[in-house]
Structure 1
C-alpha cells in the first residue's frame, strides 16, 4: 500500500498544481482548461484552438522549420528572436553595411529584404489518425516489420487525407508510438527581413549570459510574410503583397507581475521526459561529457580568432553561436539533472510502476521492460559514445570534414543510384558550397581539425577507431590535409568536382581531406552504425511499451503529456522567480539598469550603443517604462525547449506580453525532467521590444501597424464604472 501511494504521488499531481507540460492545442478541454483558469486565464480552450473560427493558433507560425514566431499586425508583420533571424541578418551584412553591428530597420515596404528559402508555416488543423496508422499491426510482428507497416500506413494517410492544393499533410507520432496525429499545414515562402536591433542589444551578454538568469537581452527581430494576390503561399515575387492573417496578436502595454498567468505557444523541438533512469545516467556520465569536451575545444579556437579579426568575427558569428548554444545547454543540463536528483526520482517511479505491474497481474506484458532497458543501455553505451564523436567531429564542427563527408555521400549516391543522381547531387553541392566558403577561414578550421582529431583518437573506443588513428600525429595530419586538400577553397573544390562520376571519384580518392573523411565514415558505418541502430530500434520498442504501461497503469489524475516533437504545443504557467542555491532568490523581472551594470565599453559581449546609454540617462522610455524603469526580461514556469525560441508569451486575455528566448541554466534538464522549483523560461518583455523599435530605432512606421492594448487598466476602469 505504501508503494502504491508513492506511485500515485510521483505519477499524478495535486489538483490545480502547475507542474510543466507541453500540450496538444486541440485537446485542451477538461483538465488543462480547468488548470489554466485556476492559474488566472480568462480565455476559453476555443480561443486558443478552433478550426472553424480565428484563434491564437492562427497567429503562431513555425519560423523556418526551427523556431517559432507570431503575427503581430494585420499586414503579416512577424516577430521572432534575434538569434532565430541571425543567419538572415548575417547574410545581408558586410563590412561596409554591417547589420549585425548596427542593426537594420526598413522604414517602408520597399526597404524590406528577401530571404530565399526562409519559410513561415501555419498549422491549419489537427486530427487523430491513430487507428488508421496502427491498422494491421500485431504483437507477433518484429519491430522492423511494425515500423515498415506503420510507415506504409502513414504514407496512405498523408496521401488520402483532404487538404487544399497549397497545403501539406504531415503525420507525427505521440507517446512513443501509442498515438498518431495528422497536421494540415500551409507554408509561406516569401518572408522578408523588416527589422533587427544591433547585436549589442539583440545578443547582449552573448555566450557568457546564454542560459543564464538574470538576463538583459533584447532578443528579437522582425520579418514580414508576403502572399500572392489571393493571400495564399507563393515563392518570392515583386508582385507579392503583405499577408493578411486570420488572427494577429494584440500587444499589452500593462507589463507583468509575479504570479501573472503566462501561456507560451510554439513548436518545441524534442524532449525525452519518460526515459528510464539508466538512460539518464548515460546522458550524465557518458554522452554529455563527450559532447562538451569536443565543443570546448572548437569554441576556444574560434573565439580566439574572432576576438582578433573583425572579418572572422562576421564569418563565424552565426556558427559560433550555434555551437556554443548547446554546449552550454548540455553543461547546465548535467548540473540540473544532478542537482534535482532526476535519476533517484526516476528510480522511485520505476519501483512504484513495478509494484503496479505486479498488483495488476501485468508481469507477462510489462514485467521485463526495466531489466531489458538495463541490458540494452549497457550494450549500447560504447556505440553511443563513438557515434557522438563521429557526429560532433565529422558532421558538425570541422568544416572541411563536413564538406568532405558530403562528397562521401555523393560517392554512395553513385554506387547506389547511378550517374544521373550523382550529377544532380553534385551540382547542388557545388552551388550550396558557395555560401559555405563566404564564411570560411582555412586557418581557423585547421586548428579545429587538429584539436578534434586528437580528441577523437584519444577517446573513441579502440575497436571503433580507423586503423590510421591508432598512432596518429594530429598536427602532422592537419598540415598535410590543409596544405593539399581541395576542400579548403571553393575554386579548387569546383575543379575537384569537374567531370563525370568516375572521373570525380578518382580525384576524390586522391584528396587527403577526402581520405580522412572516408576512413572515418567507413569505420563508423561498418562498425558503429549497424549495431547502434539495431539497439536503438529495440530501445524504441521498449520505450513505446513503457509509455503504454504508464498510460495504462497511472491514476486518472496522472499528468502525462506527450514528448515534444516539433509540433504546435501549449505550455502554461505563471511569472515566478526561483532559488537556484541556498540563500539566493532571483526576482522574475530585470530592467535596463542591469544592462548598464554589465556594460563594458568595447567588449563584444557587453558593449552598449551610445544612443541606448543616452535614453537610459534621460529615462526617456516613452509609454513603455514602468515606475521610472525600463523592463527588459522576465521568467516564468512555462515548460519550454529548443524550438520555443521566438514563441509568444501571452497573457490571460490573449495579448502578447513577451517573447520566449531561453531557459535558466539550472533548469535546462527539463528536456528529461521538469523540476518546478528550478525550471524557468526566459522571455523578452514586449515593452522592451517596443521601446527599442520606437525610441531607439525610430521605426514608428512599424509601431503604427500594431494594436496596443491595456487589459489590466481596462479591467480596473470597468470595475470603477460598475
Structure 2
C-alpha cells in the first residue's frame, strides 16, 4: 500500500485489541499456516480450503523492491502497482525518453526493460524452526544471544537453500521472538518491465487525494519474470477477471505487508513518539525542501529527482500520520488498556515474569545509542555502494555463521545483485542526499561530538559530500565489480575516496552495533519471547503476528463506510475522472486520457474499497474473489487506515484498489497493448 497522505483526525482510529487479544471481524494479516478458517466461516458461512489457499500462495509474488504482486499468466506476467515500478521506469529513462512521465508499452518481449535490483520471489515452503533457534539461544543474553541466534539462522538458511542461484531462504522472527519460521522461495532475478501507464494516470489527484476516497488512479503495471533469457513458465497463476466488484462480496488480499507495531509495549510506543518520529519528520522535511529547490534549477534535475521526491513525500506522510496517532489521547488510551489487560491476565505466571520491565530497560538503553547509530550511517547511493563493498570483503572472509546479516550465504546473492546491477547515478542528487545527512548528523550530535568529528574531520558537510561524490568511481558498475571480485585485498589497496571513507566509519559502526546488541536487541529478544508466551497463554493461538514483509492473507468484503453522516460508495468510474479534472495540477488529466476520451467507456469501475486489513508492502497485492480470480490490485488505504500500524477498525478502515476492469480498458483503449490482452485471456 502506498503511504501518500498523513492527515489523521483525533479519535478517528479505534484499536480492537490487536496488541493482546484475538482478532475481530476482518482484522488480521494472517500467515497461511494459521488462517482463521473457523472464524471466517462463522462470519460469512464460507472459508477457503487448503487447496484454495495453496493455489493462491503459489501465484503470489514478493518484489524485493518492497512491494507485492501476482502471476497472472502462464508466461511469467506479473501484475503490480505503478508506484512499485516507478524506479524501474526512472532507471530506464533519459532526457529523450521519460518513461516515468510518458508511460511504457513494450511492443514485444524483446523490448521489455530490465529493472535493476529487482527480484521476484514465490514462497514454496514455510517451516517452523522455533525449537532450533530457541535451543541455540538457551540462557544466553545480550550480544552473546544475538550472535548465537544469528549463527543458527545463517546455518538454517544455508542448509535450506544450497542452490542460491534459484532459491532463497529467510528465517523470519514472529511475535517478537516467540516464533521463528523458515520461508523458502523460488526466486527470479531477471525482472523486466512490460507495461506501465503515464505517471499522471496513476497519480491523478496527487497529495490531496492520497489516503482518500473517491479515487481515480490507474495504479497498475505489468512486469515479467525471466530466467536464462526466456520468460518463466508459470502454470500456477491467477485467472484474470476484468469485471466490476460487487457490493458485499468476499475479497482476499494476498501479499507481503511490510511492518506493523501492533504488539509494541508502552515504552516502545513512547520511544517512537518521543525520539524516532520527531527526528524522522524534521530531517525528512528538510530533505524534501532541499530537493524541491534543486529540482527547480532545470528540467533535467526535475526529471532526475522526481522518483526520490515521490518516495520522500510518501514516507514523510506516513511518519506524520503515525506521530498524530501516537499523540491522540483517545487512541493511546486504548493501546494502554490493551497492555493492562494482558498484564492482568499474566499476573502470577512465574514462567513469564515481567517482560514489560525488561522492555522498559532495553528501550531506555537504546535512547543512548539511537542517534549515534542513525547518524554515523550516512545517506547516499555511492556511499552505500562503498559500505557494502567494504563489509562484503570483510564478512566474506569469515565463516558463514559469524557474518553480519545481509552477508551470509543465503543473503549474499541479493546483496550482490543490488550492488552490481547497472542503473543511473546523478552526482548532484547523491551529493544533495549525502550533504543533507551529514548536516543533520552535526545538528543532532553536536559539532564537538566525537562521532561528528569522525564523520566530518575539518570539512563542512557540503565540502565533504562534494569531494567524495566527485572523486569516487563507484558510479561505474565495472569498478564495483572489480572491487567485489578482488575481495579484501582490493578494498585495502583502493584509494577511492568513498571506499576510504566507508572504511574509516566501519569500526565505529561495528562498535555501536555491539553495544546495541548487548543492551537493546538481546534483551528485547528475550522479552519478546516471554510476551509471546503471555499472549498465547491468555488468548490461545488465534492470533496473528506483526507484519514482517512476508506472505500474509487478509479477508474482507467490498464495502463502503459512513463519513460525516454520508455513505461513501464502494467504487468510482473511469468517467468520473473527467468530472473531477480541473486542468490544474494535480487534477490535470493524463494526455492519453484526453486523447482517448471518446473511446473510453465511462461506466467501467475504476477504483474500489474493501474491508481488508493491509499496510505498506501490500502495494500491488492481488485482490482475489471467492472463486480465486483476480479482480483488483491494492494500492492504498483510506484516511482512517493511517493508524493501521498500531490497530484496525473494521467500521472505518478500508483498502483502496484499482479494478482490473479498468486495467483491461486501459490495455485495450488508453495505452493499447494487444499482446498483453491476448496473454491475459489465455490465448
1:489 Cα deviation after fit: 6.6
1:328 Cα deviation after fit: 1.5
Please list, as runs of the form range in 1=range in 2, the aligned pairs for 1:261-272 lying within 5 A after superposition.
261-272=250-261
Q: In structure 2, do the counterparts of structure 1 residues 120 and 579 end up closer, same or farther at CA, with 3 Å as the change threshold?
A: same
* 1:95-149 residue CA offsets vs partner (Å, 9 max, x unmatched): 22222222222233343334465432222233334344444664x4435555555
Picking from 631, 634, 637, the partner of 2:611 is 637
User: Are the aligned partners of 1:72 and 1:78 in contact in 2 as well (CA < 8 Å)?
Assistant: yes
Computed over aligned residues only, the root mean square deviation of the Cα atoms, in angstroms, reads 4.1
TM-score normalised by structure 2 residue count: 0.82
Aligned partners of 2:567, 2:250: CA distance in 1, in Å?
Answer: 21
User: Are the aligned partners of 1:332 and 1:666 in contact in 2 as well (CA < 8 Å)?
Assistant: no
Aligned partners of 1:411, 1:380: CA distance in 2, in Å?
Answer: 29
1:586 Cα deviation after fit: 4.6
Aligned partners of 1:522, 1:137: CA distance in 2, in Å?
Answer: 26
Which ranges of structure 2 fall in alignment gaps of 5 or more residues? 1-14, 400-411
Match of 1:83, SS? helix
Picking from 352, 360, 363, the partner of 1:377 is 363
TM-score normalised by structure 1 residue count: 0.78
Match of 2:121, SS? strand
Q: In structure 2, do the counterparts of structure 1 residues 388 and 345 end up closer, same or farther at CA, with 3 Å as the change threshold?
A: farther
Aligned partners of 1:68, 1:493: CA distance in 2, in Å?
Answer: 28
- 2:300 maps to 1:314: no
Which residue of 2 is the match for residue 692 of structure 1?
A: 666
- 2:237 maps to 1:247: yes
Aligned partners of 1:346, 1:671: CA distance in 2, in Å?
Answer: 12
1:299 Cα deviation after fit: 1.5
- 2:445 maps to 1:460: yes
Match of 1:692, SS? helix
- 2:519 maps to 1:538: no
Picking from 555, 558, 562, the partner of 1:572 is 555
Q: In structure 2, do the counterparts of structure 1 residues 354 and 462 end up closer, same or farther at CA, with 3 Å as the change threshold?
A: farther
1:501 Cα deviation after fit: 7.7
Q: In structure 2, do the counterparts of structure 1 residues 594 and 489 end up closer, same or farther at CA, with 3 Å as the change threshold?
A: farther
Match of 1:125, SS? strand
Which residue of 2 is the match for residue 716 of structure 1?
A: none
User: Are the aligned partners of 2:26 and 2:555 in contact in 1 as well (CA < 8 Å)?
Assistant: no
- 2:25 maps to 1:25: no
Q: In structure 2, do the counterparts of structure 1 residues 119 and 367 end up closer, same or farther at CA, with 3 Å as the change threshold?
A: closer
Picking from 659, 679, 682, the partner of 1:705 is 679
Please list, as runs of the form range in 1=range in 2, the aligned pairs for 1:88-103 lying within 5 A after superposition.
88-103=88-103
Q: In structure 2, do the counterparts of structure 1 residues 591 and 13 end up closer, same or farther at CA, with 3 Å as the change threshold?
A: same
1:353 Cα deviation after fit: 2.3
Which residue of 1 is the match for residue 535 of structure 2?
A: 550
Which residue of 2 is the match for residue 420 of structure 1?
A: none
Which ranges of structure 1 fall in alignment gaps of 5 or more residues? 1-5, 227-233, 418-424, 623-627, 709-722
Q: Give the aligned length.
A: 649
Which residue of 2 is the match for residue 287 of structure 1?
A: 276
Q: Computing the radius of gyration over CA atoms, which structure comes out larger, 1 or 2? A: 1
User: Are the aligned partners of 2:427 and 2:470 in contact in 1 as well (CA < 8 Å)?
Assistant: no
User: Are the aligned partners of 1:261 and 1:652 in contact in 2 as well (CA < 8 Å)?
Assistant: yes
Match of 2:252, SS? strand
- 2:642 maps to 1:668: yes
- 2:663 maps to 1:679: no
Which residue of 1 is the match for residue 104 of structure 2?
A: 104
Aligned partners of 2:479, 2:136: CA distance in 1, in Å?
Answer: 52
Picking from 348, 366, 371, the partner of 2:352 is 366
- 2:630 maps to 1:647: no
- 2:165 maps to 1:179: no
Match of 2:679, SS? coil
User: Are the aligned partners of 2:625 and 2:631 in contact in 1 as well (CA < 8 Å)?
Assistant: yes
Aligned partners of 2:673, 2:475: CA distance in 1, in Å?
Answer: 42
* 1:132-178 residue CA offsets vs partner (Å, 9 max, x unmatched): 4444664x443555555545554555465699995454433322232
Aligned partners of 1:470, 1:190: CA distance in 2, in Å?
Answer: 37
Aligned partners of 2:17, 2:314: CA distance in 1, in Å?
Answer: 37
* 1:603-631 residue CA offsets vs partner (Å, 9 max, x unmatched): 4x443233313544x3x444xxxxx5343
User: Are the aligned partners of 1:252 and 1:655 in contact in 2 as well (CA < 8 Å)?
Assistant: no
Q: In structure 2, do the counterparts of structure 1 residues 274 and 182 end up closer, same or farther at CA, with 3 Å as the change threshold?
A: same
Which residue of 2 is the match for residue 563 of structure 1?
A: 546
* 1:562-617 residue CA offsets vs partner (Å, 9 max, x unmatched): 1222221111122333467x6676544233455345546474x443233313544x
Aligned partners of 1:273, 1:159: CA distance in 2, in Å?
Answer: 31
Aligned partners of 1:141, 1:495: CA distance in 2, in Å?
Answer: 43
- 2:313 maps to 1:324: yes
Aligned partners of 1:41, 1:464: CA distance in 2, in Å?
Answer: 63
